[in-house]
Structure formats: structure tokens, C-alpha cells
Chain A
Amino acid sequence: MESRKLRMGLLLAAVATLASCNALDGGPDAAARGDGTDTIAVTEYPERVLFGDTHLHTDNSVDAFGFGVRLGPEEALRFASGEKVTSTTGVEAQLARPLDFLLIADHSDGLGATRRLYDAPRMLIQDDTLLRWYDMMHESPEQSQMAVAEMINRAANGTLPASMTDQAANEEASRDIWTAHLKTIDRFNKPGKFTALAGFEYTLMPGGNNLHRVVMFRDGNDRTSQVIPFPGLGDGPVDRLWDYMDGYEKKTGGKALAIPHNSNLSNGLMFEMTESGGAPMSADYARRRAAREPVVEATQIKGDSESHPFLSPNDEFAGYGDVGWELGNLPLTADKNNTMFAGEYMREALKRGLSIEERTGANPYRFGLIGSTDSHTGLATADEDNFFGKHTGNEPNAERVNEGQNLGTRQGRFGWHYLAGGYAAVWARGNTRAEIFDAFARREVYATTGPRMTVRVFGGFDFAENAFEGDWVRAGYTKGVPMGGVLEENGKAPSFMISALKDPMGANLDRVQVVKGWTGRDGKAQEQVYDVVWSDMEARAKSGGKVPAVGDTVDRAKATYENSIGAAELQTVWTDPDYQPGQNAFYYVRVLEIPTPRWVLYDAVQFGLKLSDEIMANAVAQERAYTSPIWVQPKG
């Protein structure tokens, strides 16, 4: 009797295996399954900028499901590629403009675990904590969100129930979900039109200090299906993730890179002066980090990590999107003090990279910049007037602006602290997995806080004043390096050809700035922000070294603005007036739009809210773009 039953089980398992082999013959065509090489004609150099999101969560993420989202990867891809979908809360949603690419980055830890808990028969749940969470998830959306807040706290403190962190137990489920996921993205991957990249989020957070990374694969199904996403909870240091990536590349011949994010919630740990274990940084370690993590996500829903007023007191535009996020780590289980900021904000990290390079000969923080959403709604929205919330609990509703939005259980952060999210802009030669990945690898990417501005930067030593006459893009590539590139000193001061075109459906531009960081002969890292071109330059002459503010057309009562100030395009050739031979320096460009309403103001108008003075002071902002830097290295 038992014997027959067992044989039946084996039979089923074997048939399942057979069937899954068969399944490979069906599904999307070979071009969609691969990395896109040779599927479309690529241009000689990047001609059109691609916009996308590399950080979107769906119902496969342990927290997103608990927060309530019921949209999966398929709906997420439909939405990003321009189709209409219905959000979890029943609102029809469609992007006014489709994205060019999407990377769904579900948490590798407990892939699909909350859904499994939710679906499990109650009588079989042994663990008291799981049983309580099960009941909370079934009781109401609010209770479900509380349950997830507890999960995140316990994850931060390393006290999750054993069954949730047992890697072996979760592995089979992870493999099933990953296999299905890779097939789903292949169905939407259309070389030349829309790219669906494979990847996941690695959720390392010792003590609640956010050291999360998004992992991006260059490759098609044949390679990515040979691994499963690498879990981050409980273990560390981040070197283990790099081991996993090394292993993947060795095993499959493919390529992977990691993108750190929310350094602003790491309590100083994201960009340390030391190795992850505390040892002095070696050149080998620095080189490994720079190679594994060529790009950092500088702006997203949970705040902006470009700069902080404490670190950059002379930069009046520092501190965009810092309010609320500067209080402590991710779940607010630990407060922050001023000494931690330097390890959290990317401008300081770029400077630290130079200092470490002086000492060791290698720069661990030679990274480019992107924005993304980190949305947990399955909807990759980044505009102020279409903000669907961090997660399903704060999809548009009348309360979300003022609600406490702590991921943990302590007070301090509120709905209005969230930003609407950003996008990654990519200068690729074509819209395929391989071309997009390669652009990330060479750092030819930039961050925007949502608007789709077109920004080009070329650095070189031979750009004339009239460099914009004629085919200046070709000249940029042939006579210099694009954003993300490295120049070696040649005795002259470096020049930069900079062009910023507004979002055709957005606000005009206020100004273009160059942010320079350098170490001089004394080895100390310094910074300087230059206004290099701005709108109405004659009327807005510099006074006291500063360009006067552009003005403000925002009608607070109606949440509208006028493009009657600012410029459609700003271009200049700028030469560093303070360059000294021997300087080790980086230069990145920051483009500011004119002031526009933030999502909170749109909410106030839509729901008839009266906002507090504190929120009103943060209801209008100048959205922006940050390019990847160009480095100028001393000889030898």
C-alpha cells in the first residue's frame, strides 16, 4: 500500500520534470529569450536616451504582498510597456509615456513567502508568530501592513521565525518562482522596443542599517535560469554577494552587476573608508567593489542620497529629499548622528573614493548615478502627478499625506516625506539587455527625480567655444569621453560640453551646475559647485557669486505651474577655471528644473486637504537630474 503510494509520488514528480523540459520548447522566441545581441541594428554611438526603472517590486516580494499588492510581474510589465492595468485598489492606471526598460527587483529573501503563508491552511501553522501574522494578514489591510512592519523589524534584528530564513526550505519555492518569472519577462522582452531585464534585490541590513543592492543580469534565460536569486538576510558581509556574482559569471559565462541604494538609510555603512569587515581598505578590495558596483541609485521614493546640507553647507540646493530620511536607519531602530552622513551621501562617497585612491592607488567609489522607483505597487510611476505610493497601503487616498509611514514601529516618518520616485536614464546604442547592461557597466547613465530630461556631457581638452556648431555629439565621442568616462591629465584644464534639454511634457529648466570634487597636494578632498549656464542669463546676472533664484510660478491652491520662466534647453562649453595640474578630480552635472508642485500638493487639491505649515514648506520642489561623473586623473 505505502509502496504503491510512493511510486505514484515518484511518477508524478518525474512527469513534472519531463513536462518542465518540454515547456522550454514553447514560449517566446529565441530573440526575446536571449540578451538581444544581433537582434537589432545598434547605432555607432548612443543616439537616443532610454528611460526605465531598475527597482520595482511585485507580489513576489515578501513585504509588498503583505503591504497588500496583488499585481504580479506580468501586470508590472504590461504597465511599464504602456498598457492599461488595474491597480490593487481598483484604480485604472496607464503611463502617459511607456518606459523603455524595466528590471523587476523582488526581494530574494523569502521569494513568495508571505503569499505562501497567506495561502497556507491555518491549522498547520505551528509557529506562534507566523500564526499571529497569518491572522493579521487575513483581518484587514491595516493589520496586514502592521504584520509586515513587524517582519521588517525582525528581519533587521535577525529574529525572523526560523522557517522564513531557512534557505534550504525556501529554495524549492524560490526556484519555482524564479523559473516562472524568467519566462514571464521573456514574453515582454522585445529587442528594440522594450527590454525586460532579469535581476533581484539583495536585502542585506545588519541591525536595520540598509545595505540593499539590486542585482542586474546582462543575460538571457539560458544563463539566468542556472542560478537562483541570492539571499541577503542574516548573512553578510556584502562580499558574499560578490562571490555569488563571481560564481555566476564563472559558471555561465554571463555578466552581473550590483546597484546599491538607499545609502541614506545605512547609518554610515554604505560608503565606508574601510573594508566591510573593518580592515583598512586594500587596493584589491577597492578594485573589486568598483568593478562589481559601477552604478549607485541616488534617488528614489525613500529619499534622495545625492547631498546633505551638513556635508555641503555652501550648496543651497543640497538636501533635496532628505527630510525625514535623515532621522535614522531603515526601520528607525537606530538614530543617526552627524558623523554618519559622510558614509551615506554619494557626493561625499565620490570624494572618499579619491582619498582612498590617494592612499591605495585604487578608487572603490568610482560609480555612476541613476534614479529608480523602489515602488512596491507593481507600478513603475515616478511623476509627481501620478504617484501611486510606496506600497499598496498608500495608493492614492485622502490620508496618506499625513499618515505615519514608519516601516518599523517608532514614530518619525510620515507620508509626505516620500518622494514620487526617479528613473534611470541610459545612453545605450540600442534597446536590448546587453546594450543597456553595457551602458551601466561603463557608467554612461544618469539619474532623474522623475522628469525625462535629456542630458549629455562630454569631457575633454580640445573643445572649442563653438563646439556646439555642427555634429557636436560625434565630436564629443571622438574628441572626449561621455559621462562615466575617465580622462588622464594632459597639462590643460579640462573642458566639458554640456547639453540639457527639458522633458517635452514637463517643466522648463532653471540652471545647469557642475559639481567638482578633488584632492589637492595636501590629499584632502574638497568640493565646489559651479553654476555654468542658466535661463535668462542677462537678466539673472550673478551677484555675490550666486545666480539669483529663477522664480516660482506654482499656484499652491490649484497645484499648477507655468512654463513662463526658465528655458527649454541649456547648453555650454565650460572649462574648469580652478584646475591645477596634479589634481585628482571628478565632475558631475546637476540640472535643476523650475519649481513645480510635489505630489502632496496634487493630493491636497484632489482630496481637498488642508496641509500643515511644515508640509506646505515642502510642497514645491525643483526636480533635477544628476549625471555620472567624469574623472580627471593625474598622470602615472
Chain B
Amino acid sequence: MKLPNWAGRAWLRDPLTHFLLAGFLVFAFFQLRGEPVDPASRTIEVTREQQAQLAVQWEQTMQRPPTDAELDLLTEQWIREEVLYREALRLGLDVDDAVIRRRLVQKMDFIAASQAETAVASDADLEAWLKAHPERFSSDPRYTLDQLWFEQESSAQAALAQLRGGADWKQLGERISLPPSLADTNRIALAGQFGQDFAKRLDALEPGTQWQGPVPSGFGYHLVRLTSRSAGKVPPLAEIREAVAADWRANTGKERQEEAYQLLRDAYTIKGLK
């Protein structure tokens, strides 16, 4: 279906449009279905559909269908509620009731919140969001390195001298269950295994082919050959559009809910306020 291009398509994304459209559909549904039950009526019709609904609710809680006796009881409870509900409406108990008022307000808020969640952001919105929160989308820095561990700093110094003299690094180092080599490992994994302090110290080293150190960690002392350290990069929007949109939607829902309220609020005249 081709929609007329009136004034841009902004109205298509307007929560109010969605609301009115949904409301119209529901209204049409009830019109076509005929008059709903009049609460003033003293006839209560228990349909098969009604009973099926009760059975489904029961099953959702109990994880099994109700027995016939249980269904009879549920139906009786439902009739009791319906009778009291209608009598309450007859007495006008729904008027000026703070709980009912609050419940209806909640439902409106809920509608607005749901609309906010389906809102679609423009590219400009998302670019701005990405710019404001780059840390949420940047890839972790990654490290490629070899390391040797020593309990004492002096042993590490001695080994460093040997390495500079051309010794084979695989013959050096003391035994520990830390990996001797890390290939393209992200910062979380590096810090998890070697500690935050060690990861921070690596950020101060220049990558290269030389052995450096000793670098202290919670375990002792390390000689490190840091082959590469890639900085954390923020990918362009095109590559991570979905993630940015999800984050934008989740974190700006409240604002848009407020905007939707303001739209309604503006249609009201408030008197008596100074």
C-alpha cells in the first residue's frame, strides 16, 4: 500500500497516531461485535470461551489443566466476582476510587511506554547517541603477547639479561598455570587472568619485538613481549545500527513517554492554579 506523502512521514511515527489507530480498531471491533454485556443486566452468561479462558489461566499457574471439579469451582468464583463487580458499578463504587484511578493511569503509562519502545530513531538521533556514549559500543582493546613468570624480581632480571644475550625464551621462566602466550585477547579476559593492575601496566608499554619488564602482578614478576595492542575502536553506525537503536530506545523511553504525556496535557486547560 502506498501512503500519501503529506508532510513527511513524521506523523507515522507519532505515538498519538499509533494510539488513535489502535483505539479505532478496538472500537470498530466492539461495534461489529454488537453491544457488550450491560452491567445493569442481571443475566450472566457463562460461555464456553469464558470457561476456556479460566482453564488457561489456571494452567499457566499450575502447569496442568484443571479437573472438572476445579473448573466448576473456578467458574463459581468467576460468577461471584462478576455479580459483585456489576453490583459495585451499579452503586457507582468505581467513581472517586483512588486505586481504580491509579490503575487506569498505570494502564495509560503502560501504553505510552510500549509505544516508546517501538519508536524508531532517525540516523541523526542515532549518530548523536553514538557520539554521546562511545564507550558502550567500542570494541575492547586486544592484546597479543608472550610472557614469562618469576616469583622473585631478581630471577626475572637475570632472565632478561639472558634473553638479551639471545637465549631461547621457551627455556626460561618458572612454572605457573598462566598462559605463556595470549593471541588477540580482550581486556576483560586479560584482566581476569592477570589482574587489573597488570593490564594497566601493559597499557604503558610500547608494543614491539623486545622483551620488557619485569612487570609486577599479583602473582610475582613477568617478562613481557607485547607484540601488539589494538586500541578499542568505535565502529561506524552502519555496522552497529541495531545495537545503537536498542540502546537508544531503552534509555530514552522515559523522555518519549513524557513527550507523549505533554501532547495530551497541552490539550487541557488547567484552571485554578496560580
Footprint of B on A, CB under 8 Å? 2-3, 5-7, 9-16, 18-20, 22-23, 25-29, 32, 48, 51, 96-98, 100, 120-121, 123-124, 167, 171, 187, 193, 226-228, 243-244, 246-248, 250-251, 452, 454, 456, 468, 499, 501-506, 568-569, 571
Contact = CB atoms under 8 A, between A and B. Distances in A.
B19 interface: yes
A48 B189 contact: yes
Given A6-B36, A29-B246, A501 B196 contact: no
Identify whether the interface residues of B are mostly helix, strand, loop, or mixed. Answer: helix
Contacts of A5: 89, 94
B177 interface: yes
B193 A48 contact: yes
B191 A16 contact: no
16 contacts: A2-B40, A3-B39, A6-B36, A12-B108, A15-B23, A15-B26, A16-B111, A20-B110, A26-B117, A27-B250, A29-B242, A124-B98, A227-B63, A243-B63, A247-B64, A501-B176
A26 B246 CA distance: 7
B26 A25 contact: no
B63 A244 contact: yes
A167 B18 CA distance: 35
A505 B30 CA distance: 66
Interface string B201-215: 000000000000000
Nearest to B175: A468
A98 B22 contact: no
Return the 5 tightest CB-CB contacts between A and B, nearest first: A247-B63, A504-B195, A19-B114, A504-B218, A26-B117
A568 B220 contact: yes
B196 A96 contact: yes
Contacts of A167: 61
A503 B197 CA distance: 12
Contacts of B23: 11, 15
B220 to A, nearest CB: 6
A596 to B, nearest CB: 13
Interface residues of B, number: 58
Interface string B234-271: 00000000110010011000000000000000000000
B104 interface: yes
A452 B108 CA distance: 47
A100 to B, nearest CB: 8
Contact of A121 (B25, B98, B195): B98
A25 B245 CA distance: 12
B98 A2 contact: no
Nearest to A119: B102
A7 B250 CA distance: 33
Contacts of B243: 29
A171 B59 CA distance: 13
B194 interface: yes
Contacts, number: 146
Nearest to A563: B218
B188 A98 contact: yes
A10 B38 CA distance: 13
B221 to A, nearest CB: 11
B89 A502 contact: no
A501 B177 contact: yes
Interface in B1-50: 18-19, 22-23, 25-27, 29-30, 36, 38-40
B255 to A, nearest CB: 15
Interface string B93-124: 01000110010100110110011011100000
A20 B99 CA distance: 22
A10 B117 contact: no
B197 A505 contact: yes
Given A247-B63, A502-B218, A504-B218, A18 B22 contact: yes
B118 A26 contact: yes
Given A13-B107, A20-B110, A227 B60 contact: yes
Given A6-B36, A18-B26, A20-B110, A504 B193 contact: yes
A26 B119 CA distance: 8
B99 to A, nearest CB: 6
B90 interface: yes
Contacts of B18: 22
Given A12-B108, A27-B246, A501-B177, A7 B114 contact: no
B55 to A, nearest CB: 14
Contact of A19 (B62, B111, B189): B111
In this complex, the member of A3, A20, A246 whose beta carbon has the largest number of chain B beta carbons within 10 angstroms is A3
A20 B114 contact: yes
Given A23-B117, A25-B118, A26-B118, A11 B177 contact: no
A11 B111 CA distance: 12
Contacts of B188: 98, 193
A246 B40 CA distance: 45
Given A28-B250, A121-B102, A248-B63, 19 more contacts: A2-B89, A7-B30, A9-B104, A12-B104, A15-B19, A16-B110, A22-B114, A26-B118, A27-B117, A27-B249, A51-B192, A96-B196, A98-B188, A187-B246, A226-B60, A228-B60, A454-B177, A501-B176, A505-B195
